Amino acid sequence: MLAIAAALATRRKPGPLPDGSTLLPSGWRIRPAGRQVTVGTLPLGLATLSDGSVLVTNNGYAENGLMRIDPGAGAVIWTQPLAAAWLGLARTGADGHDTVLVSGAGMNRVYRLTPRGADWAVDTATLADAKQQLFVAGIAPVPERGLVAAVGNLSDSVYLLDAATLARRAAIAVGHRPYTAVADSLHLYVSNWGDSSISVIDLTDRPTTRPPLFVGPHPSAMALRGADLFVALAGSNGVARVDVATGRVVEQLTVALAPRAPVGSDPNALALAPDGRTLYVAMAGNNAVAVVRLEPGAMRVAGLIPAAGTRRPSPSPPTARPCTWRTGRVRARAPTRTGRSSGG
């Protein structure tokens, strides 16, 4: 009994350790690169304002809303509580005249924030009564068309709003459990968690839907670069590159820690570098960000950035836990083979 008591007394609990690392409930130890800024629960969305500060959405079961981070100071400098928030966060505008759009999750709202002196004014578009199964997920501005697209995760639809008035212009059926959206001036692309596809909508005066593109299991985040659409495949440890002109997957890259690692890396967020040559892939299951070089005709993993512990997203409103926002340097990793797929 004394031995058991001694073992329990010395057992390490999940959380920060004296050596600067963090012990996760899984037993993993992580040592995130760079500085760490503590924010709220379940931060899912990030957006950079024109002054270089960063917005993050807090979406868990604690207080929902926005936080603004000064990267130079490494501190939260402003907060905006919201009734509910989730994945969708986007910014339009420039030179201090930013407009910020935030998804209202189960409240079935889209929030719009515009500068008002030292603060922000907030107005709201309500897509449906909060009792209805809609759940606003991703948001995509389409400034060339004067539109904002809001994804209804539980209604299998995407809603087009007038960017000036927030009036609803259209509701368009898409695939099962849509997650988020990206757009160019002519088309809107919606990732469908539930049926491994991308919905493509022609943004005409009367928007029409093309046949869906099959891309692979559990498509989530997307990034658009000219004719290339990059799709994070949370169900296969991969990133697909889609030629939007032909509607075909022309390449798929594994971003797991090892070439034959089991499914579980959970790539679920993407960001393109300003020069379009590097794609950053957040891997919730590996507590890391993969740095992918976009070379002519091929993608290549150049290294990994160690990150904080994360929790995988789910199609229903997520469970909260304390999280942090991280920045850091690249660490090299063992080479991972790439594979090409010609499937459409």
pLDDT in tens, 236-252: 999 999 999 999 999 99
pLDDT band at 22 (very low <50, low <70, confident <90, very high): confident
Residue 319 per-residue DSSP state: P
Mean local confidence (pLDDT), 68-83: 95
Does 147 map to a domain?
Answer: yes
pLDDT value at residue 61: 85
d(CA 267, CA 289): 9
Which amino acid type is present at position 157?
S
What does pTM read for this prediction? 0.85
Give how many domains the chain has, as a whole number: 1
Task: Name the least confident of 5-9, 15-19, 291-295.
Answer: 5-9
Q: Where are the alpha helices (DSSP H) in the chain?
A: 2-10
The answer as to whether 177 is a domain residue is yes
Q: Are 253 and 338 in contact (CB under 8 A)?
A: yes
DSSP of 80-99, one letter per residue?
Answer: EE-S---S-EEEE--TT--E
Q: Which one, of 199, 69, 193, lies nearest residue 137 by Cα?
A: 193
One DSSP character per residue, 242-294 reads EETTTTEEEEEEE-SSSTTPPS---EEEEEE-TTSSEEEEEETTTTEEEEEEE
The pLDDT of residue 328 is above 60: no
Task: Flag whether 88 is in a domain.
Answer: yes
At which residue do the structure tokens 């005409």 appear? 204
For residue 86, being part of any structural domain is answered with yes
Q: How many CA atoms lie within 13 A of 58 on its CB side?
A: 25
Residue 325 has pLDDT above 90, yes or no: no
Q: Distance between CA atoms of 230 and 252, rounded to whole angstroms?
A: 9
Range of the domain at 197: 40-214
For the cut 60, the answer to whether the pLDDT of residue 180 exceeds it is yes
3-state secondary structure of 303: strand
By percentage, how much of the chain surpasses pLDDT 70? 86
Domain at 78, CATH number: 2.130.10.10
Residues 118-147 have a mean pLDDT of: 95
Q: Decide if 222 is inside a domain.
A: no
Q: Is residue 141 part of a domain?
A: yes
User: Tokens at residue 264, please?
Assistant: 């579980």
In a domain, 135, yes or no: yes
Residue 281 lies inside a defined structural domain of this protein: no
